[in-house]
Copies of this chain bind each other. A is one copy, B any other.
Amino acid sequence: MRPPASIRWRMRTSILPKPSFTMRTLTIDSLNPALLKVEYAVRGELAIKAEKYRVQLKEPNHGLPFDRVISSNIGNPQQKGLDQPPITFTRQVAALTEWPELAELAPGVFPADVVARAKELMEEIGSVGAYSHSQGVPFIRANVAKFIEERDGFPSDPNHIFLTGGASAGVSLLINMLISSPTSGILIPIPQYPLYTATLAQHNGRPIPYYLDESKGWATSAQEIEAALDKAHKENTVPKALVIINPGNPTGALLDEPTMIQLVHLCEKYSLVLLADEVYQANLHQPENHPFTSFKKVVRELDSHVPLVSFHSISKGVSGECGRRGGYFECTNIPEPIIALIYKMVSVGLCPPLSGQIGVDSMVRPPREGEESYALWKKETDTIHDALRSRTKVMAERLNSLPGVSCVDSPGALYLYPKITLSDKAIEAARAAGKEPDAFYALALLDETGICVVPGSGFGQREGEWHYRLTCLCPGVDEYVGKLEKFHQSFVEKYGA
C-alpha cells in the first residue's frame, strides 16, 4: 500500500521540509552515563574473542593452535563441549507441559509420575503460553515454600516468594529498589560476582567493598565488614544492604553457622538489608566438613528482625538449567508495603518465563523414593555431584603444583579462583599492551589453548594480586588441565617466574 511517488513527494515536502542535514547523529555521549560505567567481565573482552574463535574454527584452514574453544568463563553446565546432561525428569515434565496431548499420543513413553506431575501443573497453569501471576504461579510458589520449610525447619510464606527469570533479575530489582540516592551504598564481597557491581553502576549506587581472606580459604569476617562500613561512613556513603554470596562465587567458600550469626547481628547493628545469594546451595563438594546453612534458618533461629532477601536459581546445582531462566527469591522480615512495591515492579515485566517456573517446580519437587522416576533421577544427580567433586579436587591439586600458582580447594559452587604470581617482565608486557596483567595472562591462555577464563580484575582482588576464575565443568579434565599446565609453563619460560 505504498502511495504513488507524487503523493509521497507531497508528504515529504508537506508541513515538514526534509531537514536531515540538520539532524544530530546519535552518539554514545548522549546516552545514560551510568550505563557506560557498567562492567561485566564474565561476558567481556575474553568471551567476545572466544566467540570469534568459535566461528573461525568452523573454517577448513582456521590456522588456530587449538581445535575447540573451552568456555570456562561462565557456569553454563549444559553448553556445547561441556555437555552436562539435563535431568531426564525435568525435561520429561517440560515436554509434556509444552504439548500435553503427548501423554495419550505416546502411551508408555513417559513415566507415570511424570504424567501425573505434568497433569497437576497444567491444571494450575492452564497453558505455558499464558502469562502467569506476576509473582509466579501460586501453586509453584507454594511448592517452593514447602521446599524451604523442609530445608530449614521454619515456616515459609508463598506470598513472600517471587519467582524470577534467574536470580539475576531479582538481584537487579532489589538493588534498583534499595539505591535511594547517589550516596546509597551496598556492601559487596571482594572477590564478587560482577552482577553486583554492574547493577550498582547501572542504578547509580556505590559499591562498599569488603575483602574475603584468601589465607583462610576465602573466609568472610565481620571485622573486615565493619572496617569497610567505617571507611564508607568517612566517604559519606550510606550503607543500605550487605551482599553475601554463599557458597561463594568465584571463591566456592562456605560460611559456617557461627560466622553467619555474627553477620546477622552486624546487619542488626547497622540496620542493613541482607541480600543472600545462595544459588550454589546444592553444589557442595565436602558436605561433611562444609555443609550449607541458609540465612533464612539462622535469622529465624536468632528470632532476628533483619530484613533478608535470599536468592536461588535453577541455573546451577544439579539442575544446570541456565537457558530456561528460572529462579526465585524469598523475602523475610520485609514489611507488606514493600512486598506490594516489589509486586508492582515485577508486574510491569508481566511474569517470569513459564518454562523457568516449571523448572523451579522440578527442582524443589524432585522424584521421591518409590516413584517411578526416582532411580534414574538419583543416578543422574549422583553422577553430576561426583564428577564436579572429583574434577574440582584434581584441578585444585594440579593447579597448586604449578610454579607461582596457589589455589584454594573450594568446597562449593562450580569454580576455582587460583592466584597467579606474575613477573615484572609479564606485568610490563601487559601494561605495554594496555591490559591488566591478569587479563594479559588470560588472553594469552585463550590465544594459545582456546580456554576462556575470566581474569581476577573482573571480580576484584587486593592491590598487586592476580587471579583468574575458571569453571570445573569441563568433561575431559586431563586434556583441560593439561593445556592449562602446558600454557603456564610456557608463559613462565617466556616472562620468568
Q: Could you list which residues of chain A lie within 8 angstroms of chain B, going by C-beta atoms?
A: 1-3, 7-8, 11-12, 14-16, 18-20, 22-28, 30-33, 35-36, 38, 40, 42-44, 47, 51, 74, 76-80, 83, 86, 88, 91-92, 94-96, 98-99, 102, 105-106, 109, 125-134, 165-166, 168-169, 172, 176-180, 195, 198-199, 202-203, 222-223, 240, 256-258, 261-262, 265-266, 268-269, 271, 273, 291, 293, 301-302, 304-307, 315, 320-325, 333-335, 337-338, 341, 344-345, 347-356
Is B102's CB under 8 angstroms from A94's CB?
Answer: no
Is B31's CB under 8 angstroms from A180's CB?
Answer: yes
Is B126's CB under 8 angstroms from A38's CB?
Answer: no
Is B258's CB under 8 angstroms from A76's CB?
Answer: no
Closest to A100 in B: B91
In the bound complex, CA of A218 to CA of B323 (Å): 41
A-B contact pairs, 16 of them (CB 8 A): A11-B261, A15-B222, A16-B262, A23-B305, A26-B334, A31-B180, A33-B180, A35-B177, A78-B127, A80-B127, A95-B95, A129-B322, A168-B348, A172-B348, A353-B353, A353-B355
Is B261's CB under 8 angstroms from A12's CB?
Answer: yes
Is B105's CB under 8 angstroms from A99's CB?
Answer: no
Give the residues in chain B near A102, CB-CB below 8 Å.
95, 102, 106, 109
A23, A24, A33, A96 pick with most chain B CB within 10 angstroms: A23
Is A325's CB under 8 angstroms from B305's CB?
Answer: no
Is B31's CB under 8 angstroms from A338's CB?
Answer: yes
Complex partner residue of A306 from B23, B177, B293, B355, CB under 8 angstroms: B23
Give the residues in chain B near A335, CB-CB below 8 Å.
25-28
In the assembled complex, the CB of A254 is this many whole angstroms from the nearest CB of chain B, namely 10
In the assembled complex, the CB of A8 is this many whole angstroms from the nearest CB of chain B, namely 6
Closest to A123 in B: B80
Is A348's CB under 8 angstroms from B40's CB?
Answer: yes
Give the residues in chain B near A28, CB-CB below 8 Å.
335, 337-338, 341
A2, A31, A51, A129 pick with most chain B CB within 10 angstroms: A129
Give the residues in chain B near A78, CB-CB below 8 Å.
126-127, 129-130
Given contacts A199-B348, A222-B15, A348-B38, contact A177 B32 (CB under 8 A): yes
In the bound complex, CA of A12 to CA of B268 (Å): 12
Give the residues in chain B near A353, CB-CB below 8 Å.
165, 323-325, 353, 355-356
Is B321's CB under 8 angstroms from A129's CB?
Answer: yes
